[in-house]
C-alpha cells in the first residue's frame, strides 16, 4: 500500500489553523482527483477543499468542529487503490454513451448533489438527504429556496417532542466567541434617540420614482450611511479601531462601513470600503451588493474585513429599542429600529409623523458618553433635514 497525505493548505489571511466544517467523504471511499472532500471554516467563510490526488480514503483528521493546524495531515489516501478506479474509467469510456450525463459523484455509490456549503450544512443538521431535494438551479443545483421549500413540505411529517443536539461549530461558534469577547472586554455605552424621518422618507420616495430599475431603489440605509459619514468628520474618534496587541487606537480617514447582515449561516458583516467616496445611489448599490453576496456565500474574503464602524438593522423586526453589540475592533455601532407613524406634538399641535429610533453602542473606554450622544444628535439633525446631507 502506498500512502499519500493531503495536508491542510494555507487558506490565506495569516490563518494558522482551521476548523473542520463538514466532510463529504468517509474512510473507505474512493475519491477522484479534484473531488470536493469537505469544507474548512475560516473566520470569514466556509472554504471547500478538493482532493489533489485520486485514491482510497484510509484516515481523516477528525470530526466536524475539530481544529487542524495548517500543514497538518487532513486526509490520508491509499493511492494504489486508485488503479482500479482508473481501469473502471477506461472501461466506461469504451462503453457506448446512451444515457445523459450523471451528476458529479463525490464517493463510491453516492451522487454528490450540487449546492452551497450553507445548504449542505443545514441539510445535515436537519437529517435530510439532499439527493431527495429537487434542484431548480443551473445543472440541477439545489438552491437555498429549493431546500427551504422541501423542508417546509416535510416538516408536518417530522416527529415532535424530541430533542436534537446541534454542535456549535463553524461560523456559529465564531459568532458566539466574538459576541462573548465583545461583551466581556468592552464596557458598552448605549444611547437611544428618536428621529423624525418624515421628510427623509418623502425624499427617498421621490428619488425612487426617478429610478427605473426597481432592484436599484434606495432604502433608508444609504441615507443613514451618508449621515453617519458626515457626522464622523466632526467626531473622528468614533471612526476608530483598537489594536489590542499594541494597545493603540487607529483613527481612520476613510470610512469603511460594515453592514451587519443576517444570512443562512448566521450573522456576517460585509464591508463597503471607502464608503465616504460614494454617492447615495452608489452607496445603496454597494450595501445591497455586499449584503446579497454575504447571504449567497459568494462574497470575497477582503469584503468581510476591515470595517471601521458598523450599521445594524433588523428591518421590520427592528422593534423600539435594541442594544447592538460592538463589532470588535471597532469602537461604535449604530442600530436601526423600526419606523412607525405615531402622533407627535409640534409647536403645540398634534401631527402624525414617521418616527424611528437609533440605538447606538460605543466603547466607553475610548468614546466619552458626551461625544457619543453629540454624534448621534448630529446624525439626527442631518436625517431630519435631509437636504443638509448633500451640502458641501
Q: Where do the structural domains in the chain lie, given as residue ranges?
A: 3-112, 171-390
pLDDT score for 362: 98
Contact in structure between 178 and 328 (CB atoms under 8 Å): yes
Pairing of strands 188-196, 349-363: antiparallel
pLDDT score for 94: 44
Which of the residues 66, 87, 282, 368 is marked catalytic? 368
> CATH for 3-112, among 3.40.630.30, 2.40.50.100, 2.40.50.140, 3.40.50.300?
2.40.50.100
Q: Which three-class secondary structure state does DSSP give residue 49?
A: strand
pLDDT score for 82: 57
Query: Other C-beta atoms within 10 Å of 174: how many?
Result: 18
Q: What are phi and psi of 5, to 5 degrees?
A: -100, 115
Contact in structure between 228 and 379 (CB atoms under 8 Å): yes
pTM, entire model? 0.67
* Domain 171-390: CATH superfamily, name plus number: Chloramphenicol acetyltransferase-like domain (3.30.559.10)
pLDDT score for 158: 52
Contact in structure between 331 and 361 (CB atoms under 8 Å): no
Q: What are phi and psi of 262, to 5 degrees?
A: -80, 130
Q: Which three-class secondary structure state does DSSP give residue 265?
A: coil
Q: Which three-class secondary structure state does DSSP give residue 57?
A: strand
For residue 329, say if its preceding peptide bond is cis, omega within 30 degrees of 0.
yes
Is residue 10 part of the annotated active site? The answer reads no
pLDDT score for 112: 66
Q: Which residues contact 254 (CB under 8 A, 6 or more apart)?
A: 273, 274, 275, 276, 277, 308
**Dihedral sign computed on CA atoms, order 380, 386, 390, 392:** negative
Contact in structure between 360 and 334 (CB atoms under 8 Å): yes
Q: Which three-class secondary structure state does DSSP give residue 4?
A: strand
What is the number of residues in the chain?
392
115: DSSP letter: B
Round the CA-based radius of gyration of the chain to a whole number and report it.
Answer: 26
Is residue 364 part of the annotated active site? The answer reads yes
Domains 3-112 and 171-390 share a fold: no
Q: CA 92 → CA 54, 75, 81, 85, distances in Å?
A: 17, 28, 18, 10
Spatial separation of the C-alpha atoms in residues 76 and 165, rounded to whole Å: 29
Which of the residues 252, 285, 364, 371 is marked catalytic? 364
**Within the chain, which residues score under 50 in pLDDT?**
86, 88-103, 106-110
pLDDT score for 34: 84
Q: Which residues contact 377 (CB under 8 A, 6 or more apart)?
A: 193
Amino acid at each position: 500500500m502506498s500512502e499519500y497525505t493531503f495536508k491542510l493548505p494555507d487558506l490565506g489571511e495569516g490563518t494558522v489553523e482551521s476548523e473542520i466544517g463538514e466532510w463529504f467523504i468517509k474512510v473507505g471511499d474512493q475519491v477522484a482527483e479534484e473531488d470536493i472532500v469537505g469544507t474548512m471554516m475560516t473566520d470569514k467563510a466556509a472554504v471547500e477543499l478538493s482532493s489533489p490526488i485520486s485514491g482510497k480514503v484510509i484516515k481523516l483528521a477528525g470530526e466536524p468542529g475539530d481544529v487542524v493546524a495548517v500543514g497538518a495531515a487532513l486526509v490520508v489516501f491509499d493511492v494504489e487503490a486508485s488503479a482500479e478506479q482508473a481501469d473502471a474509467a477506461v472501461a466506461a469510456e469504451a462503453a457506448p454513451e446512451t444515457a445523459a450525463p450523471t451528476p458529479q459523484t463525490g464517493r463510491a455509490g453516492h451522487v454528490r448533489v450540487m449546492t452551497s456549503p450553507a445548504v449542505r450544512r443545514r441539510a445535515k443538521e436537519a437529517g435530510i438527504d439532499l439527493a431527495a431535494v429537487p434542484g431548480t438551479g443551473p445543472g440541477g443545483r439545489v438552491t437555498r429556496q429549493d431546500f427551504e421549500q422541501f423542508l417546509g413540505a416535510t416538516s408536518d411529517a417530522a416527529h415532535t417532542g424530541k430533542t436534537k443536539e446541534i454542535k456549535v461549530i463553524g461560523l456559529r461558534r465564531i459568532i458566539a466567541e466574538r459576541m462573548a469577547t465583545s461583551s466581556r472586554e468592552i464596557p458598552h455605552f448605549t444611547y437611544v434617540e428618536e428621529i423624525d424621518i418624515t421628510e427623509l422618507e418623502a425624499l427617498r420616495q421621490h428619488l425612487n420614482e426617478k429610478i427605473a430599475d426597481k432592484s436599484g431603489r434606495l432604502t433608508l440605509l444609504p441615507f443613514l450611511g451618508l449621515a453617519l459619514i458626515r457626522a464622523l468628520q466632526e467626531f473622528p474618534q468614533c471612526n476608530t479601531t483598537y489594536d489590542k496587541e499594541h494597545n493603540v487606537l487607529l483613527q481612520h480617514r476613510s470610512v469603511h462601513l460594515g453592514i451587519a447582515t443576517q444570512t443562512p449561516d448566521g450573522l456576517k458583516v460585509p464591508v463597503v470600503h471607502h464608503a465616504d467616496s460614494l454617492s447615495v445611489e452608489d452607496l445603496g448599490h454597494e450595501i445591497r451588493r455586499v449584503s446579497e453576496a454575504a447571504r449567497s456565500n459568494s462574497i470575497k474574503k477582503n469584503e468581510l474585513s476591515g470595517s471601521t464602524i458598523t450599521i445594524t438593522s433588523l428591518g421590520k423586526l427592528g422593534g423600539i429599542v435594541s442594544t447592538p453589540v460592538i463589532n470588535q475592533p471597532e469602537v461604535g455601532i449604530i442600530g436601526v429600529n423600526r419606523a412607525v407613524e405615531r402622533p407627535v406634538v409640534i409647536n403645540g399641535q398634534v401631527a402624525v409623523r414617521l418616527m424611528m429610533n437609533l440605538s447606538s453602542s460605543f466603547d466607553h473606554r475610548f468614546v466619552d458618553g458626551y461625544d457619543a450622544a453629540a454624534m448621534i444628535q448630529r446624525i439626527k439633525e442631518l436625517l431630519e433635514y435631509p437636504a443638509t446631507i448633500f451640502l458641501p
